[in-house]
Structure 1
Amino acid sequence: MENYVYAPEIAKLGHVALVSEDIEKSLWFFKEILGLEETAVEDGIHYLRCWGDFEHHSLSIRSGKTSYIDHIGWRAKRVEDLEQFALLLEEKGTKVKWIESGEEKGQGRAIRFQLPTGHKFEIYYEMDKPKGDENNKPFLKNQSHKAWAKGISTRRIDHVNIATNAEVETVSNFIIDNLGFKLREYLVDSEDQQLGAWMSVTNLVHDIAVMKDPNAPTTHQMHHLGFWLDNAQDILRAADILSEHQVEFVGPGKHGISQAIYLYVIDPGSGLRIELFSNSYLIFEPDWEPVKWTLEDKKALTYWGENSSQANRTTIRG
């Protein structure tokens, strides 16, 4: 530890890089139905963001023979944190790859590495923050572009939920010990082994969750990507829009863990599950004690509404 000037920190979830086997269907879904703005297209990669996201992109999509998550990007609190994270990870035996500025559109230098399960993470600091163009310029100066311009109009990227057929604690401990996340809530089986862990670096209940799926085809699956809507009424509006376009979904309902109102829908191009997410609660206590749930707590995953376990199969490779 003598090489560290200070403990590096992650500020927030930044983006998810998606590879889709049917990019036209994915672009239709994310742009026309969810209402994401396309900020750039370069080398076959489409860069998108929600109306409340300030950075260049919160989602990128490119075409591939199969669908999978190329990487999940996290923004560091300081540019110096990149070197510190690289030192920390390499000292603990994790291989780190440097990504040069501009290799990912709008983004500065970054590091990429794999979790013990094979999930790929990226940490960056510098990222362009473009304004909306003349056709999408907001009146409010504290927005990047117009709200409610199209479709469901999700406000921002909210969280990721990864899945594995390996031990959940292998992943959650790595994320906590190496990346500085705090455990907020967790679910255990009858032998006190983690079935799920919800962790954050912000005041959110979770910026990332890890779920156990013994039937998953690999150790590195993506359970879902979450986008934020402001309130429960927005979730009901989203259900109307999805129904109007004959897109099937699960929900609405309310989770016990996180207390969030949810709706799950599948991107028809890639098979990636999307959670539309609202309400929930915030954590400000510095001495927060992780909340433990067991299988006897029947309302842990679904407090009320359509059973969220119907959406509990993993989708694409993470």
Structure 2
Amino acid sequence: MKPEIAKLGYIALVSADLEKSLVFFKDVIGLEETTVIDGVHYLRAWGDFQHHTLSIEQGDRGYVRHIGWRTKRKEDVQKFKELLQQQGVPVEAIAPWTTPGIGEAIRFKVPSEHTFELYYDVERPSVDEHRRSVLKNQTYKSWAKGVSPRRLDHVNLHTSANSKKAYEFMQNVLGFNMRELLKGDNGDILAGWMSVTPLVHDVALVSRQKEETPTPARLHHLSYWVDDSQDILRAADILREHGFDFVGPGKHAISQALYLYVCDPGSGARVELFTGSYLIFEPDWEPVEWSESERAFGNTYWGDSISKKELVKTTIEAM
């Protein structure tokens, strides 16, 4: 049986101004802090179950250390290690619980030059009584503070490395399914929306081979899910009350999701607040193909156009 990835796990973020990032993610976005160990803050949304979906620490600049993915089975971690080594990919073994809440893990670079981590064992820490939901199937009380997203949804990655190899690797080695894609006039894939779950995308990968970027691996945004369109409008009010510029609300044609984008002032990382979209249950799903001339429409079906805002053009380094 081939090893499989189950879901997106967490993003390890480094901030140039940790204090600003913590105010942003905890008070404005409304994430809950699980713990702080050796200067690293571990956060999750009120509906996230594992130890954390975001870690933040102080650094000399804003960047992403790695992106964590949980496998479907414990033995898949070792199976992926063997598979990657067969492909000639250097693999770093991470001892269990080196990262709080994360058991045995492996780290490696994908052809886009982003560092991925795979693991299975996780801790689900208890929640203090005053923060705990009365619902047995929910971690924290909802709406306790800030925007209050329910869960981590996806990441959007950019690369100026060999994107053809990256798309093939993501699908053939890691097992991602291509759900929607944007093709250039020359037939090359310019962007791919891929998932291992019924979501339209757990990860989007955008090719920037024709552009000059400071580093080949970049993060365009990380995304948290809110339950409905009213939550997006409420988020806009909260962000404006705190003096933040943002892009949206709007709707993507690709994915059919409602969006709102805002940047963390500490790390420079962009956060997308995301809802709507559709789920894919068809086992014979054929990827939906968009042409280069349809790119702007694919990005913005209606609403505040992301193609016209400088806020969504910038990216931060991903190791």
Pick the TM interval, shorter chain. Answer: over 0.9
Instruction: Judge conservation of contact 2:192–2:206 (CA < 8 Å) in 1.
Output: yes
Unaligned runs of 5+ in 1: 1-5
> Is 1:173 aligned to 2:171, yes or no?
no
Q: Counterpart of 1:301?
A: 299
> Quick one: which of 288, 291, 311 aligns to 2:288?
291
CA pair 314-90 structure 1, distance change in 2 beyond 3 A: farther
1:171 and 1:313 map into 2 onto residues whose CA distance is: 21
Partner residue of 1:3? Answer: none
Question: 1:13 Cα shift?
Answer: 0.2
**1:132 shift after superposition:** 1.9
Instruction: Report SS of the residue matched to 1:142.
Output: coil
8 Å contact 1:168–1:196 — kept in the other structure? no
Classify the secondary structure of the residue corresponding to 1:82.
helix
Select the residue among 90, 94, 113 that pairs with 1:95: 90
**1:316 and 2:316 matched:** yes
What are the equivalent positions in structure 2 for 1:134-173 lying under 5 Å apart?
Answer: 134-173=129-168
Out of 166-175 and 77-86, give the one that drifted further.
Answer: 166-175
Give the superposition deviation at 1:308.
Answer: 1.4
1:264 to 261, 280, 283: 261
Paired residue type of 1:52? G
Report the secondary structure of 1:39's partner residue: strand
SS in 2 for 1:300: helix
Choose the corresponding residue for 2:199, options 176, 200, 204. Answer: 204
Report the CA distance between 1:36 and its aligned residue: 0.3
Asked if the contact 2:112–2:163 (Cα under 8 Å) also holds between the matched residues in 1, the reply is no
* Equivalent pair of 2:182/2:191 in contact (CA under 8 Å): yes
Q: Aligned partners of 1:256 and 1:104: how far apart in 2? A: 38
Q: Does 1:280 align with 2:285?
A: no
- Cα distance in 1 between the residues matched to 2:212 and 2:193: 21
- SS at the partner of 2:297? coil
Partner residue of 1:222? 219
Q: Is the 8 Å Cα contact of residues 44 and 151 (structure 2) preserved in structure 1?
A: yes
Deviation at 1:34, TM superposition (A): 0.5
Q: Mean alpha-carbon deviation: is it higher for 304-313 or for 280-289?
A: 304-313
Q: For residues 109-167 of structure 1, what are the alpha-carbon distances to aligned partners after superposition, in whole Å with 9 as ceiling and x for unaligned?
A: 10000012320000000111123211101111100111111100011000001001234
Kept after mapping to 2: 8 A contact 1:168/1:197: no
Name the CA distance, whole Å, in 1 between partners of 2:113 and 2:163: 13
- What is the number of equivalent residue pairs in this alignment? 313
Letter in 1 for 2:273: L
Hey, what's the Cα distance between the residues in 1 that align with 2:212 and 2:256? 27
Once residues 172 and 295 of structure 1 are traced to their aligned partners in structure 2, the CA distance between those partners, rounded to angstroms, is 18
TM-score (norm 2): 0.96
- Cα separation, 2, equivalents of 1:53 and 1:160: 16
The CA distance in 2 between the partners of 1:281 and 1:314, in whole Å, is 27
Residues in 1 aligned to 2:101 and 2:86: alpha-carbon distance in whole angstroms: 30
Consecutive unaligned residues in structure 2, runs of 5 or more: none
Secondary structure of the structure 2 residue equivalent to 1:243: helix
Match of 1:124 in 2: 119
Runs of 4+ aligned structure 1 residues displaced above 4 Å come to none
- CA deviations 1:75-107 (Å, max 9, x no partner) are 001100011000000000101111011210111
TM-align CA RMSD: 1.0
Shift, 1:275, TM fit: 0.5
Q: Which residue of 2 aligns with 1:236?
A: 233
Contact 2:195 2:203 in 1 (8 A): yes
Which of 223, 242, 251 is the matching residue for 1:254? 251
Q: TM-score when scaled to structure 1? A: 0.97
Aligned to 1:66: 61
Relative distance call for 1:304 and 1:167 in structure 2 (3 A) is: farther
Cα distance in 2, alignment partners of residues 169 and 244 from structure 1: 43
Task: Tell me which amino acid in the other structure corresponds to 1:289.
Answer: E
SS of the equivalent of 1:299 reads helix
Q: Deviations over 1:227-260 (max 9, x none)?
A: 1001111000000000000111001100010000
Q: 2:101 aligns with which of 106, 123, 145?
A: 106
Deviations 1:268-296 (A, max 9, x none): 00000111000000000000000100122
Q: Which residue of 2 aligns with 1:44?
A: 39
Give the partner amino acid of 1:36: L
Task: Quote the Cα distance in structure 2 between the aligned partners of 1:317 and 1:32.
Answer: 25
